[in-house]
Structure 1
């Protein structure tokens, strides 16, 4: 305990208290000395960004604080959803994404993360944001599809949270790997007097999408014991893409023409030199003497397609609309238990015990899985060499279709099998225990703690609606070899021609499992070393041992290469690390001209990894209080991120990227010549078989850690002339400049950009790993991870908080938080080329808006309180798909040739309102009603986004979300 002037309390305490009263949101934690002589005794505490416990909460680091009341005021029921709304957050995964195994596996080996919600600070990715709970690491997520390096924030029940501290600064010197973009420290509730319960019901104005949540908590205290228990339930229903006109078609404005080339009828691709060309003249030879014949079946005679009468040339009008099978909002159900107890075993020693269990059930849905054979349309490795025997009773051609001699591709989408459904069942278990204490040596106080954490996140994914390609090959092969249980397959008929018996033979239920484990031991000590003229020289030091283990085990049929879906192989790996750190806070000046106080902080951490060796990272910071009203602060920090288990050991897999092949109908002489050199016989008449091009992904054992340098500089201004006046009780301004540079960034090149550069230059540095088959279509595309190059980003954060006096109509408050992204650039070291993602651009279902702002106006008067929040995102530009502009897709800035250009996504503002009433009864009973997106603003149309016609990582769902809530404490 320390004796301090009351007026020297941190403004953090003042601001957070006011926030809880007025319901403000995301308050920047900044402090100033106030005037006065009153004294009080304050307990030393630890704030995110420093390991030194001290009574003055404000330091050198920019911190945003969100309280439990703030979380509740959003009407959202997940920590991740709340954090994604912050202006400092970038695009990241959430439950509005309907991407499961229908696209495949991203390059980082982390899997798809279906059903998870992650947060990306500074637009640098969720893997570069460290998540702590009460200062200790939380286990990474798994959804049955890989070994992820990101944390699903919804595995931490929001009803157990007291506050969240967000450090928007590099912090590897204090916390180790992953803290390049910043740190999210979730502080849980330690105690509660009595019991409380709450229930909320919400509904979207489109589709279903109802949500129901509730929690029951109990707590208490004695002279030696504090405890808190919480049980919570959350249930979110799905919304079909078909319920919103914009997502009813694959690409807005293009209608069915933006659909898939895998259709419910048979699509067959031949060369005209094949003998089958003699039938019906369906494959005319062009001037070059070589052209693809792309024909489609559209009729049946006794279950067998007549050829050529039942076939016609494939056109865009034949494309399949997969969009109505997708989900606009995915179902998500979570049940959680959280509890912790703290027992004072001696006057200066406390033992704590903490446990959490969360079960999540979620699902994604996709259109019926297509079957593809041959080099032009294959959907699996075995499908590449699978044909149709002449003895198959449904083969209309009378000859064997052999992918090695007479046909290039055969595709069919069996709608009879229904949609693909990817269901996740994920368990998260977390256990922590430790001792905390203090002691006095001479006249100085010291604080210590030792901690142990054991946590597991295990996900199981079950896939319905997928097929066994080995069974398909047998069912299409010689009839003599298709004996029971084999059933000959009619791949040539239209919808309804595949019988239940056929489906039963070629179908199977896929079961995949992934798991992440975390075990840590930590020990810390802090206190004052010696008294200097300007104050005490304080220190913190500590040790951490951490072991992380991860595994991904796909279904045995997938491992055997017999799955018709996306192939993958098992992944397993682990690493351990020993770390040591030291932090010093050095007071330099006090109560002199232009320096009411000046302090310097120094921190260094050494990390020794079993995977790559040792690294040391340092940080320097200053806090210069020029006057009672004005403080300047800044930091310079080194950082690093070790390659994750998935990035190092991820087994080869596949991602079906939506890519436009530049050789498709290419008439530019230079580009056409490059296409010919790369295996496209006649680019002018070349037709890309499918808009999805399969890329090879997987880990890279040769990866080295990323390194970073972060600079922040800012001022905090709390003018005394605006304090306790007739128009303001408090007014605070915060301005921070930030800059982050990352070297050896672990990333895969953008596949579209790489292919464009390959065709434009014909250089090996771009073309290595891209292989075309005899049809000219790409059959192999290596898109593995590497230490790609450099990321350079910078910008400004602006915060304003105003709290009014008590007027006759109540009290008003205003909180504003703005982030301006000035630069974001990724440059590959080997080519010097920039990746496409930058400020103001929409690409690959993510974006970096130039401006993001959130402003809240609060009012309270007795038992009533209300709040209005506005969330602004500046406009974006995206590249139009040239193939779709020809058929009328939305494209606001077409080029002169009408074959491409850019599309503008306009600036968007969403408005939320909430009203609370505390009933006049003998216990604490509050009723709440709220509406998010009051004016039912639709997100802007995105023509490059993979699903649903908008960017789910940046914008709200269309329509209003209305909710009512009741809470009681007794």
Structure 2
């Protein structure tokens, strides 16, 4: 149900349970039963298993994972989908995504159920966290690297839709990070690790202090994390852009400079590159047998850009966190919480290519310049004209290695402050809990880009000598021969590009919960409340970029804000109790009304059933409506451009039907795509509507009595949970490769309307804007087994096995055309495995502990594309498919602890990827020949040593 009018404001004077105070121990109720609040419901409950499937990653789980960031930890669970991490060398490679959020360089995010990071709500102590700033856009997701691991007590992951409980973004689920509230004394935690190849060092230092005195408790933590880079050329598998194919699929922009031109004297077209630093073109030589220091270009001469990338990006994080709680009265508490976190990260890409000419359009200046005959470095003796009606310079593709690689250095500062009051009271012999909260948070980012070029100055320095002499600082430029650009030339055309962005969130909330009336089967419990949020964001690109002079991606400033008022109500209704086949049967109902300043109002509801048949068997199910409001980048993001790696179907097609369609599009029969990178223009859309969804979840939990408190088993639990999410009006752009393919195959205006070609047949404009596109339908099953051995004199063994099976994942555009992303297929640097499974064995006693974890991902397939003829296309090369085989990673950890030194000492040693499992080769992945969202990087056997000291 949706209302499309604004100005509605519903206020409740009632106050409820503090969402941030998810404490393990609450004030005892009249029934003398402990009641806690778990993510997925704001009603306190005494049952261990609630209406919703919630995975709790406690501190023991976190410590034995051997992982040093929240993002890496969450990406390792089986419900996780593809998300950014520090193995993504993002900047300069992925450009500007259509959502206006930027590339998220150096960030770490979380995806659930492969529905996208923007559809997961991240909370900290029950309150929303500020979205990221990437310095290249206004992000719509949370960067988990802004939250230090040192402050985490546990993480609760709700794997179900929860918009009626928490509002927008909770379509795929909720991640609630619970912070440490107190600590007795001080603790020091130091950690160092590196890959067994001797690189990728990670150093971590955490110092925390806390205590409780009468009515006051506090916790303070300072932490520092330093991760070093790993270069791609240090790993054999990733040292080529497409492993096993040589340079055949590399870049046409080469260090010597590829010149594709038509000699105006002979009208002969040639594609040559200089073989010396002082080439002298001989127009009499029209073939490839040459004696003029030029050579014909072939695929063997393409540039291997991947050797200059990073496999692991450097990442430094420093943080200070503090919170305190003060008991004002026996029933009232005040809290104050604050955090400052700074991240410094770097991404690196190969030297920025200079593409001149309309065979590979890039920007106005490069597409229309002239390399004048009087340029002292022009070896041809005639003007090389890129623009106009009759160009003779079709493409000059130069890779300036002498200018160094592109480096993108980010500094991101996060500030967070929240305060509030909570308490309880008795009315009519019933307990009620209330809270009010206020929070302010901001995320500010600056990015410095080194190694890029000023396209306008490039045109001036290559043009007529008089034009260059008329501009202060200009020197004639040389793009003919390797290392042709001198320091003076580089100083003229190579700027430092500075970009900034900021996201801010203001939040106020008030909540009330308790029990209303007694029913025959128990107490009717409720929760209700109000929340106000205001989002502000802006992106300020460098003036060079705004002016259109930047040789790389094109972008414009973005600025916008919106606010939302919300009210919600939730009921837990006991239906049956203490009957045959119904120890307890409860019904839960929830609704949330949201009024947005940007599009109007939305009402979402949820219903759940919890049926405790006996002490051994629990059935539960839920139905939920969900929605996601478009964020600032999606609404207000200005037009931006980036280079996508695409295969043009009109490049030397062999199919007669495709040839005819390409001719109808105006593509010459002789056209061959010179470079796989095609410029894409994206942008926000202020007419976007919210995404809407329905989610279904049904499952059971079985704890057999025969395996409870026996000689061989203290407890054995089985759980199965089936889920389905159906999303309509998804906010996204049509997959660019799919749009291009469908345009050529169908010639329909809805696919071809945004694609324009020049006289040479090359795509010179590709519009790929956001819209409410089609639908996503996904389903799967979670299986969990947990067994605990009875404690003995030697210790206790625990086994946990969690598996997620994807039934299907279907994506359709607005024309009901099936998109390529689906189960068991690798697309756009990410894949959805059919099975993902984690099996952990943990044994320990008071002194020693040992853990062994196995992580399994089932196989994927991908299109080999232009590499279909190569042997590395493993899975039936004649079909053009490549098989990415299944993998199993083994992680081991050992620890020893004693209380004899100060208050306690623990020493931990671990090894992740024990057997050095290599990721499968991915031919469609655009960076390092593998998918970093699913697999550990090549050569990733990683050891670490950690000490924890309490005093």
Q: Aligned to 1:347, what secondary structure does the other structure show? A: coil
Q: Aligned to 1:258, what secondary structure does the other structure show? A: coil
Q: Aligned to 1:466, what secondary structure does the other structure show? A: coil
The C-alpha deviation readout for 1:102-141, integer Å capped at 9, x for no partner, is: 4311111110001000000010111000000111000011
Instruction: Report if aligned partners of 2:257, 2:482 keep a CA contact under 8 Å in 1.
Output: no
Indicate the residue corresponding to 1:22 in structure 2.
none
Which of 623, 630, 642 matches 1:643? 630
Aligned length: 913
Indicate the residue corresponding to 2:409 in structure 1.
423
Shift in Å at residue 225 of structure 1?
0.3
Instruction: Report if aligned partners of 1:304, 1:394 keep a CA contact under 8 Å in 2.
Output: no
Q: Distance in 2 between matches of 1:856 and 1:428?
A: 35
Indicate the residue corresponding to 2:186 in structure 1.
195
The answer to whether residue 412 in structure 2 is matched with residue 432 in structure 1 is no
Instruction: Report if aligned partners of 2:92, 2:348 keep a CA contact under 8 Å in 1.
Output: no
Instruction: Report if aligned partners of 2:256, 2:483 keep a CA contact under 8 Å in 1.
Output: no
Which of 259, 273, 281 matches 1:296? 273
Q: Distance in 2 between matches of 1:276 and 1:93?
A: 53
Indicate the residue corresponding to 1:493 in structure 2.
480
Q: Distance in 2 between matches of 1:57 and 1:808?
A: 29
Which of 335, 342, 356 matches 1:352? 335
Which of 825, 832, 837 matches 1:848? 832
Gaps of 5+ in 2: 1-21, 286-291
Indicate the residue corresponding to 2:297 in structure 1.
314
Which of 167, 172, 176 matches 1:181? 172
The answer to whether residue 889 in structure 2 is matched with residue 910 in structure 1 is yes
Instruction: Report if aligned partners of 2:218, 2:322 keep a CA contact under 8 Å in 1.
Output: yes
Indicate the residue corresponding to 1:61 in structure 2.
52
Alignment of 1:35-184 (within 5 A): 41-184=32-175
Alignment of 1:506-545 (within 5 A): 506-545=493-532
Indicate the residue corresponding to 2:655 in structure 1.
668
Indicate the residue corresponding to 1:376 in structure 2.
359
Indicate the residue corresponding to 1:864 in structure 2.
848
Output the TM-score relative to the length of structure 1. 0.92
Q: Distance in 2 between matches of 1:611 and 1:542?
A: 22
Q: Distance in 2 between matches of 1:771 and 1:565?
A: 20
Q: Distance in 2 between matches of 1:698 and 1:704?
A: 15
Shift in Å at residue 703 of structure 1?
0.9
Shift in Å at residue 370 of structure 1?
1.2
Alignment of 1:705-724 (within 5 A): 705-724=690-709
Shift in Å at residue 808 of structure 1?
4.4
Q: 1:128–1:64: structure 2 CA closer, same or farther, 3 Å change rule?
A: same
Shift in Å at residue 955 of structure 1?
0.6
The answer to whether residue 944 in structure 2 is matched with residue 960 in structure 1 is no
Which of 432, 442, 453 matches 1:456? 442
Indicate the residue corresponding to 1:395 in structure 2.
378
Q: Distance in 2 between matches of 1:235 and 1:716?
A: 42
Q: 1:509–1:791: structure 2 CA closer, same or farther, 3 Å change rule?
A: same
Instruction: Report if aligned partners of 1:295, 1:313 keep a CA contact under 8 Å in 2.
Output: yes
Which of 450, 456, 462 matches 1:476? 462
Shift in Å at residue 439 of structure 1?
0.5
Shift in Å at residue 885 of structure 1?
3.3
Instruction: Report if aligned partners of 1:300, 1:306 keep a CA contact under 8 Å in 2.
Output: no
Gaps of 5+ in 1: 1-12, 18-38, 284-292
Instruction: Report if aligned partners of 2:138, 2:538 keep a CA contact under 8 Å in 1.
Output: yes
Indicate the residue corresponding to 2:782 in structure 1.
797
Shift in Å at residue 742 of structure 1?
0.2
Indicate the residue corresponding to 1:363 in structure 2.
346
Q: Distance in 2 between matches of 1:70 and 1:363?
A: 30
The C-alpha deviation readout for 1:397-438, integer Å capped at 9, x for no partner, is: 222222222222222111110100000000011110000011
The C-alpha deviation readout for 1:684-724, integer Å capped at 9, x for no partner, is: x4220111111111111111100000000000111111111
Q: Distance in 1 between matches of 2:621 and 2:176?
A: 21
Instruction: Report if aligned partners of 1:304, 1:493 keep a CA contact under 8 Å in 2.
Output: no
Instruction: Report if aligned partners of 2:361, 2:762 keep a CA contact under 8 Å in 1.
Output: no
Instruction: Report if aligned partners of 1:489, 1:498 keep a CA contact under 8 Å in 2.
Output: no
Shift in Å at residue 610 of structure 1?
0.4
Shift in Å at residue 269 of structure 1?
2.3
Indicate the residue corresponding to 2:17 in structure 1.
none
Q: Aligned to 1:375, what secondary structure does the other structure show? A: coil
The answer to whether residue 620 in structure 2 is matched with residue 633 in structure 1 is yes
Instruction: Report if aligned partners of 1:515, 1:551 keep a CA contact under 8 Å in 2.
Output: yes
Structure 1 stretch displaced more, 366-375 or 452-461: 366-375
Q: Distance in 2 between matches of 1:41 and 1:967?
A: 37
Shift in Å at residue 810 of structure 1?
2.1
Instruction: Report if aligned partners of 1:372, 1:380 keep a CA contact under 8 Å in 2.
Output: no
Q: Distance in 1 between matches of 2:679 and 2:428?
A: 69
Q: Distance in 2 between matches of 1:625 and 1:414?
A: 69
Output the TM-score relative to the length of structure 2. 0.94
Which of 930, 942, 947 matches 2:922? 942
Q: 1:157–1:42: structure 2 CA closer, same or farther, 3 Å change rule?
A: farther
Q: Distance in 2 between matches of 1:277 and 1:490?
A: 26
Instruction: Report if aligned partners of 2:233, 2:307 keep a CA contact under 8 Å in 1.
Output: yes
Q: Distance in 2 between matches of 1:701 and 1:314?
A: 47
Q: Distance in 2 between matches of 1:41 and 1:200?
A: 43
Instruction: Report if aligned partners of 1:304, 1:396 keep a CA contact under 8 Å in 2.
Output: yes
Shift in Å at residue 310 of structure 1?
2.9
Structure 1 stretch displaced more, 865-874 or 714-723: 714-723
The C-alpha deviation readout for 1:329-375, integer Å capped at 9, x for no partner, is: 00000001111000011110000000011100000001111111121
Q: Aligned to 1:470, what secondary structure does the other structure show? A: helix
The C-alpha deviation readout for 1:266-301, integer Å capped at 9, x for no partner, is: 222235xx52545xx6x3xxxxxxxxx433232333
Q: Distance in 2 between matches of 1:809 and 1:596?
A: 38
Indicate the residue corresponding to 1:929 in structure 2.
909
Q: Distance in 2 between matches of 1:520 and 1:489?
A: 56
Q: Aligned to 1:246, what secondary structure does the other structure show? A: coil
Indicate the residue corresponding to 1:604 in structure 2.
591
Q: Distance in 2 between matches of 1:40 and 1:359?
A: 47
Q: Aligned to 2:40, what secondary structure does the other structure show? A: coil
Alignment of 1:263-282 (within 5 A): 263-270=254-261, 275-278=264-267
Which of 316, 320, 332 matches 1:333? 316
Instruction: Report if aligned partners of 2:361, 2:679 keep a CA contact under 8 Å in 1.
Output: no
Q: Distance in 1 between matches of 2:593 and 2:618?
A: 31
Instruction: Report if aligned partners of 1:863, 1:918 keep a CA contact under 8 Å in 2.
Output: yes
Q: 1:277–1:821: structure 2 CA closer, same or farther, 3 Å change rule?
A: farther
Instruction: Report if aligned partners of 1:377, 1:410 keep a CA contact under 8 Å in 2.
Output: no
Q: Aligned to 2:359, what secondary structure does the other structure show? A: helix
Q: Aligned to 2:358, what secondary structure does the other structure show? A: helix
Instruction: Report if aligned partners of 1:241, 1:948 keep a CA contact under 8 Å in 2.
Output: yes
Shift in Å at residue 761 of structure 1?
1.6
Alignment of 1:760-775 (within 5 A): 760-775=745-760
Q: Distance in 2 between matches of 1:210 and 1:665?
A: 47
Instruction: Report if aligned partners of 2:475, 2:492 keep a CA contact under 8 Å in 1.
Output: no
The C-alpha deviation readout for 1:616-637, integer Å capped at 9, x for no partner, is: 0000001000011101001100
The C-alpha deviation readout for 1:183-213, integer Å capped at 9, x for no partner, is: 0001101100100011000001235200000
The answer to whether residue 609 in structure 2 is matched with residue 622 in structure 1 is yes
Shift in Å at residue 462 of structure 1?
0.3
Instruction: Report if aligned partners of 1:180, 1:639 keep a CA contact under 8 Å in 2.
Output: yes
Q: Aligned to 1:77, what secondary structure does the other structure show? A: coil
The C-alpha deviation readout for 1:204-262, integer Å capped at 9, x for no partner, is: 12352000001000000012101000000100000000010011111011112121111
Shift in Å at residue 305 of structure 1?
6.0
